[in-house]
Amino acid sequence: MTMPDVTGSHGRRSREVTQDRRTQMNKERRKRIREAMEALDTAHDILIDVFDEEQEAFDNLPEGIQNGERGEQMSEYIETLSEQIDTLDNIVSSLDDIAEG
């Protein structure tokens, strides 16, 4: 009975196949990251629209209401939206570095 050759060219071929699979998996994971980035871009656009609408609504309030409880609450929402939009920008930028890497 002959034993299979586990060294020599067969061993190199096995490593090449394994390396190809790793590369393929990386491509698949990077593709999934790009898909997530597209979803985050959509979320970003929605948040920008909401931010703009809330800012416009605040700007159109009479000054007395802007300085009152309702205006302060709206101002806090606007500030929070702005901060979260910036956070989302940073996340997308970091993911872009990974997806391109």
Structural tokens at position 82? 């702005």
User: In angstroms, rounded to a whole number, what is the distance separating the alpha carbons of residues 20 and 11?
Assistant: 14
Q: Does residue 33 form part of some domain?
A: yes
Q: Does residue 2 form part of some domain?
A: no
Q: Does residue 4 form part of some domain?
A: no
Q: Does residue 1 form part of some domain?
A: no
Segments of the chain scoring below 50 in pLDDT: none
What is the pLDDT, as a whole number, of residue 92? 95
Domain housing 25: 9-100
Q: Does residue 21 form part of some domain?
A: yes
DSSP state of 8: T
What is the pLDDT, as a whole number, of residue 59? 97
Count of domains for the chain: 1
What is the pLDDT, as a whole number, of residue 88? 96
User: In angstroms, rounded to a whole number, what is the distance separating the alpha carbons of residues 37 and 40?
Assistant: 5
What is the pLDDT, as a whole number, of residue 37? 96
Q: Does residue 77 form part of some domain?
A: yes
What is the pLDDT, as a whole number, of residue 100? 85
